[in-house]
Amino acid sequence: MGGRLVEYELSNVFIETETKRYNLRPKSGKVFSNPGSVGFFDVPLEEPISFEEFPATVWVNFDFIYDTSPSVKTRTTGAKVRYELTDNKPGSTVRGPWYEDQREE
C-alpha cells in the first residue's frame, strides 16, 4: 500500500448478551488511517446494559468497509468478539477478547 491512507467505515455494529441485542449507531462513521496508526470510533450505547449475575458474557459484532485513498477496491471485514465480565466492581473486570467469528469479503 505504500504511503496511502486507508479509509474505514464502521457498519452493522451491535452488542449481544445472552438475552438481548443492542443496536448501536456510531457517532463518527469514518476514520482515515496510515499503516501502523490507530483510529477510534465513537459508539455510544442507546440504553444501559445491565446484568443480574456474574460472570456475564457479551458479544460485540461489527463490520468495516474499507478502501485505500485514492480508491483501489472496496472490501469488507468483520468479526464477532466475545468478552467475559467477571464482576461489577471498578477496575479490571473484563476477560477477552476472543474472536468467535471473523469475516472477509
pLDDT digits (tens, 9 = 90+) for 62-92: 998 888 877 888 899 999 999 999 988 887 6
Q: Find the farthest-apart pair of alpha carbons in the chain and give their distance in angstroms, rounded.
A: 50
Please report, as a single letter, which amino acid is at residue 97. P
Strands 30-33 and 5-16: antiparallel
Helix (H) or strand (E) holding 58: strand 56-69
The predicted model scores a pTM of 0.78
